[in-house]
Amino acid sequence: MARVAEKRRKTRETEVCVKLDLDGKGDSKIASGIGFLDHMLDLFARHGLFDLELTCNGDLHIDPHHSVEDIAITLGQAFLEALGDKSGIVRFGAAYVPMDETLARAVVDLSGRAFIVYHVQAVRDRIGEMDVELVQHFWRSFAGEARCNLHIELLYGSNQHHIIEAVFKSTARALSAASQTSERIQGVLSTKGTL
């Protein structure tokens, strides 16, 4: 069964379209209107081995906040829908990713319960046209819609680009690991019988 989803979100501030295949090859076509975010989402797809098409037409004349938030919401909804009933998924995933002087860790539980712990210090305010504080907001919005428990931590690092890149790569790899299926798992991996 294909684990794919297509989600759209339209508000007065943005119009977002996301197509996601959890069992892809890492191909992506991204046009968010925010160059640095495009780069991070391309990394997310490539290192998670997700096929991702994403477009956003947002009110960037105000600032990138609405676009970043609505992209994360829509991507989280697509991720949850693509998981289907979660039958057979491994559920938990973790990844460490180095990027030169930086090391980041992401741990995820596709539990159906949204929660985020984000321990990543900012060493500067902006990269390109994107405020660094929006990265935390992106992952909070994603976790809320994907209904996952997500812990992201910077172990060390000094270059802000490297830090955020390691965050996106490690989170993609953790999500990829957690969403894999195993023939050994009957139904969902929970003593409650539901996720």
pLDDT level of residue 186 (50, 70, 90 thresholds): confident
Residue 84: C-alpha distances to residues 45, 88, 107, 109, 139 (Å): 19, 11, 21, 15, 21
More confident: 111 or 194 = 111
Q: What was the pLDDT predicted at 187? A: 80
- Average per-residue pLDDT in the chain? 96
Residue 16 — very low, low, confident or very high, per pLDDT cuts 50/70/90?
Answer: very high
What CATH number is given for 4-179 in this structure? 3.30.230.40
10 Å Cβ neighbour count for 19?
17
**C-beta atoms surrounding 184 within 10 Å:** 8
pLDDT for residue 126: 95
Q: pLDDT tens for residues 124-150?
A: 999 999 999 999 999 999 999 999 999
Q: What is the pLDDT of residue 98?
A: 98
Q: Residue 159, class by beta-carbon neighbours within 10 Å (0-12 exposed, 13-18 middle, 19+ buried)?
A: middle
In the chain, what are the domain boundaries?
4-179
Residue 185, pLDDT score? 85
pLDDT digits (tens, 9 = 90+) for 70-126: 999 999 999 999 999 999 999 999 999 999 999 999 999 999 999 999 999 999 999
Residues above pLDDT 90, as percent of the chain:
91
Percent of the chain surpassing pLDDT 70? 99
Helix axes 35-48, 160-179, angle to 10 degrees: 40
Tell me what percent of the chain is helix, strand and coil, each rounded to the nearest 5.
35, 30, 35
**pTM (2 decimals)?**
0.95
Residue 178 confidence (pLDDT): 98
Secondary structure (3-state) at 73: helix
| Identity of the amino acid at 121 | Q
User: Alpha helices, DSSP H only, in the chain?
Assistant: 35-48, 65-83, 133-146, 160-179
User: Are 97 and 46 contacting, i.e. CB atoms less than 8 angstroms apart?
Assistant: no
Query: Which residues does 133 contact at the CB level (< 8 Å), separation at least 6?
Result: 122, 125
pLDDT of 190: 76
Q: 165 falls in which pLDDT band (50, 70, 90)?
A: very high
